[in-house]
Structure 1
Amino acid sequence: MIEPSQRVQETKESYIRNILKVIQQPGMLSLAGGLPDASRFPKAILAQAAQHLADDPSIYQYGATEGYAPLRKWLIDSLALADDVMVTSGSQQALDLIARSYLNPGDQVLCEAPSYLGALQIFDLAQAKTLTVKSDSTGPDLDHLESMLSQNQIKLFYAVPDFQNPSSSCWTLEKRQGVALLCERFDVAFIEDAPYRELRYSGETLPSVSSLCKGQAFYMGSFSKIATPSMRVGFVMASQKLLEPLKKVKQASDLHSALPMQQMLLATITHPEFPAHLEQLKQHYCARRDVLVDALNRHLSDWIDFEVPEGGMFVWAKLKQHQAHDLAAKALDYQVAVVPGDEFWPSDASIDYQAIRLNFTALDDAQLEQAVERLAEVMSNS
């Protein structure tokens, strides 16, 4: 029997992807995934966008690796962060392309602790050494970041500055400026992942870190959270020089991402009614957040500490006495699913505290209340 490669064998499976099989059981309430509310997809706008897919037969032909030219132009004009952009099959592919283009086995990558599980998997698959920098609700500890950059040969620094997954932290302007300066000083490429940037419910919109970087920076975006996830349209923006290796890898990987989906996505986000859709979506998710926060305060205050996020899709709950993995396993018996915080650290990292990640966008108000009640029962009996 042929054996998988060493890098595949050493890559940790996704707890979240695996648990999706379990949470589809009847009666299960999931706070585990990062799913948007399907009832809020812009169906009328999508229907109009789909009607025009047959107007241009060339959209069904092979296309440029870089992506659908009108969408690329719209991204460059709208964001004005760099002179080149490549459309990818979700921002997850963008990060994979960066890793495969720039990382050799043993190269050092820096992430916040905790960090996005999908990024940790990609860096494992690239056989990189993933190090962590201390971080809190305001962003990374700049003194610790400077120490890590000065004492190690860091090649890439990956982060989600706006409403991070899993912690929902949002970097202050001071942290953004500090990170940009340190990356330039130590010649480290910064990878900014921004899937939640548009989902701000309160507070002031801050500049992207990439816009402050004078050195090397990649900016990755996604439409999964504001349009639909199954279209799988994302992008990575950087200088032409930085993107050239990614184009070569993508050519070998999938030639190009699906052009009909790119055209349909562009027609959706440029539709006159899309800004109103986005505003209503933010109001909807803000209300969902408030329902979850209220339920947590009433039912779980003895067992968890948390901060109310200004945006995003998650509440990061630090546990006062429970072990996250044990709690998550027992919660499934009560038909409620959560993600243990341990999953968001590199496998060999020292974990500072126990936590669980709770999603508030996928369940309705009554289900959120019931899910927290079930969690309270689990905690009281553990």
Structure 2
Amino acid sequence: MNKYTSIVDYIRNLAQEKKIKTGQKLPSIRSLADKFQCSKLTVIRAYKELEQDHFIYSVPKSGYYLVSKHKEEDLSKSNIYFSTVLPDMNILPYDEFHHCLDQAMEKYKMHLFSYGETRGLPSLIETLRKHLQNYQVFCKPTQIVVTSGSQQAVSILTNLQFPNGKNTILVENPTYDRMIKSLQLHSVRTIGIDRNFHGIDLNRLERIFQEEDIKFFYIVPRFHNPIGSSYSMDEKKEILRLAQKYDVYILEDDYLSDLDTDSRNDPIYSLDTSDRVIYLKTFSKILLPGLRIAAVVLPEILAPQFLTYKQWTDIHTSILPQGALDIYINNGMFKRSVTRLRRIYENRMDYLKSICNNFNREVLDANIPHTGFFLSMKSPKPIQYDVILPELARKGIILKDIRESYLEKNREMNLIKISISKTDNQQIKDGMLSIYNYFLNQ
């Protein structure tokens, strides 16, 4: 029996023998790591599985607690979670990356006794420079900074003074909900441009660029969260042309580039000849979300100021995840894992498409990409989310409230967001049919 399974069994036995009670705090991650002589990641994995089984629950900055019997019975394992943005833990390369972490502990042990480079581990920077070329992102090592997740990069960029001297940030509406929350936290003036199944109105974009003092345009060109669609190359070229014309920077969040099966679908960064695009690449969605590691490729003029901000906020990103990622990419594990994940998510989306092809579009119109995590469905009438989401939850269908992805929460909306990141084909079939039948009978 491996240590991860031993920890799961240990916690379950503690509860069964009533050595821990409902609502009681569980042993800390550190204490279990010491007890079982394993890494903290192994303990976290065990706790996450118990949490997914609704056996325990977590309280941020506090710890893990035992779920009450009543609550455990209410939260059925049969629930279908179309709400999560986390990848499927059953297909993520935990064991392989754990091996790389062990290697990194040995290889980079001397780095742990001092502060690291603010930019990132030098060997990883060079590895990323070469690796990014697979996405048609060609840059100098001095343009790359490793950050503690993509949100840290966004936070720093929000606070930076850009060469264009502008202060307003433009986002697609809807957009990634954490981006909205981050901008609100920083009290930054933010405006939106509507994005639907067909993209954005480029004439409207030009008017905004012309009339507003747009510092940068935050954009998710590929597998948009929450819409699901991608921009065509012609649309990317026009967005870039307008940004160059009106002195606007583009923050390109390419979070799921690894799942794309279209080799011609290059990022906006690959088209940029004027140092106008900031390229953001997270590794959490295809590795382990808890690692919090990302890379940002900056225009040379922004790099020094960005590094200063990062140095005084966290000094440097944790060495061990950086070292493990460096090993993971260089030994070929990354490529093999991505090939497998790409096949899995493409198959899931194909299967979902076969289900939705039988839907009446006047009931629900589905916008389904060729792969990725997200898709959206449009109702011909405004959706009463406060009614529909709880009713579907009682049927075991858990959806995320898409209103969180809009700047204006009180506007009429008719979209439902679906994530298939953690669902298998049977859950996709059962869940999508339940949602469709619910709207059919309204």
Report how far residue 322 of structure 1 moved: 5.2
Match of 1:94 in 2: 153
Report how far residue 210 of structure 1 moved: 1.8
- Residues 180 and 263 from structure 1, CA distance in 2 versus in 1: closer, same or farther, beyond 3 angstroms? same
Task: From 35, 59, 84, give the equivalent of 2:86.
Answer: 35
Tell me if the contact between 1:327 and 1:379 (Cα under 8 Å) persists in the aligned partners.
no
Match of 1:367 in 2: 427
Task: From 396, 401, 416, give the equivalent of 1:340.
Answer: 401
Match of 2:139 in 1: 81
Report how far residue 258 of structure 1 moved: 0.8
Higher-Rg member (1/2): 2
Q: Distance in 1 between matches of 2:181 and 2:194?
A: 20
- What does residue range 224-243 of structure 1 map to in structure 2 within 5 Å? 224-243=284-303
- Deviation per CA, 1:90-140: give whole Å up to 9, x if none: 11211111112248xx93211112211111111111212221223344543
Report how far residue 301 of structure 1 moved: 5.0
| TM superposition score normalised by structure 1 | 0.86
- Residues 174 and 247 from structure 1, CA distance in 2 versus in 1: closer, same or farther, beyond 3 angstroms? same
Higher relative contact order (CA 8 A, sep 6+): 1
Task: From 241, 248, 253, give the equivalent of 1:188.
Answer: 248
Match of 2:313 in 1: 253
Report how far residue 294 of structure 1 moved: 2.8
Match of 2:201 in 1: 141
Report how far residue 241 of structure 1 moved: 2.4
Report how far residue 341 of structure 1 moved: 2.7
- Residues 50 and 67 from structure 1, CA distance in 2 versus in 1: closer, same or farther, beyond 3 angstroms? same
| Structure 2 residue runs without a partner (length 5+) | 1-56, 59-70, 133-137
The reply on whether 1:71 has 2:131 as its aligned counterpart is no
Q: Which stretch shifts more, 207-216 or 28-37? A: 207-216
Report how far residue 243 of structure 1 moved: 2.3
- Residues 295 and 373 from structure 1, CA distance in 2 versus in 1: closer, same or farther, beyond 3 angstroms? same
Report how far residue 70 of structure 1 moved: 1.0
- Residues 188 and 318 from structure 1, CA distance in 2 versus in 1: closer, same or farther, beyond 3 angstroms? same
- What does residue range 257-268 of structure 1 map to in structure 2 within 5 Å? 257-268=317-328
SS in 2 for 1:190: strand
Q: Which stretch shifts more, 135-144 or 285-294? A: 135-144
- Deviation per CA, 1:56-101: give whole Å up to 9, x if none: 3223232111111111112223332354111111112111111122
Match of 2:234 in 1: 174
Tell me if the contact between 2:93 and 2:337 (Cα under 8 Å) persists in the aligned partners.
yes
What's the Cα RMSD here?
Answer: 2.6
- Residues 84 and 215 from structure 1, CA distance in 2 versus in 1: closer, same or farther, beyond 3 angstroms? closer
Match of 1:331 in 2: 392
SS in 2 for 1:40: coil
- Residues 377 and 139 from structure 1, CA distance in 2 versus in 1: closer, same or farther, beyond 3 angstroms? closer
Tell me if the contact between 2:84 and 2:421 (Cα under 8 Å) persists in the aligned partners.
no
Match of 2:76 in 1: 26
- Residues 309 and 149 from structure 1, CA distance in 2 versus in 1: closer, same or farther, beyond 3 angstroms? same
Tell me if the contact between 2:193 and 2:205 (Cα under 8 Å) persists in the aligned partners.
yes
Match of 1:11 in 2: none
- Residues 379 and 136 from structure 1, CA distance in 2 versus in 1: closer, same or farther, beyond 3 angstroms? closer
Match of 2:29 in 1: none
Q: Distance in 2 between matches of 1:317 and 1:331?
A: 15
Q: Distance in 1 between matches of 2:176 and 2:328?
A: 28
Q: Which stretch shifts more, 131-140 or 263-272? A: 131-140
Match of 1:209 in 2: 268
Q: Which stretch shifts more, 28-37 or 137-146? A: 137-146
Q: Which stretch shifts more, 121-130 or 54-63? A: 54-63
Match of 1:156 in 2: 216
| TM superposition score normalised by structure 2 | 0.75
- Deviation per CA, 1:271-317: give whole Å up to 9, x if none: 22432221121111111112323333446755311222023211111
- Residues 35 and 129 from structure 1, CA distance in 2 versus in 1: closer, same or farther, beyond 3 angstroms? same
SS in 2 for 1:306: strand
Report how far residue 51 of structure 1 moved: 2.9
Q: Which stretch shifts more, 355-364 or 297-306? A: 297-306
SS in 1 for 2:145: strand
Q: Distance in 1 between matches of 2:213 and 2:107?
A: 52
Tell me if the contact between 1:137 and 1:169 (Cα under 8 Å) persists in the aligned partners.
yes
Report how far residue 373 of structure 1 moved: 3.5
Residue type of the partner of 2:408? S
Match of 2:102 in 1: 51
- Deviation per CA, 1:14-69: give whole Å up to 9, x if none: xxxxxx98999333221011121111112343243123122332232321111111
Match of 1:17 in 2: none
SS in 2 for 1:165: coil
Q: Distance in 2 between matches of 1:38 and 1:224?
A: 12
Residue type of the partner of 1:327? I
- Residues 300 and 54 from structure 1, CA distance in 2 versus in 1: closer, same or farther, beyond 3 angstroms? farther
Q: Distance in 2 between matches of 1:134 and 1:307?
A: 16
Match of 1:122 in 2: 182
Tell me if the contact between 1:59 and 1:260 (Cα under 8 Å) persists in the aligned partners.
no
SS in 1 for 2:258: coil
Tell me if the contact between 1:197 and 1:312 (Cα under 8 Å) persists in the aligned partners.
no
Report how far residue 177 of structure 1 moved: 1.0
Report how far residue 380 of structure 1 moved: 4.8
Tell me if the contact between 2:108 and 2:320 (Cα under 8 Å) persists in the aligned partners.
no
Tell me if the contact between 2:229 and 2:375 (Cα under 8 Å) persists in the aligned partners.
no
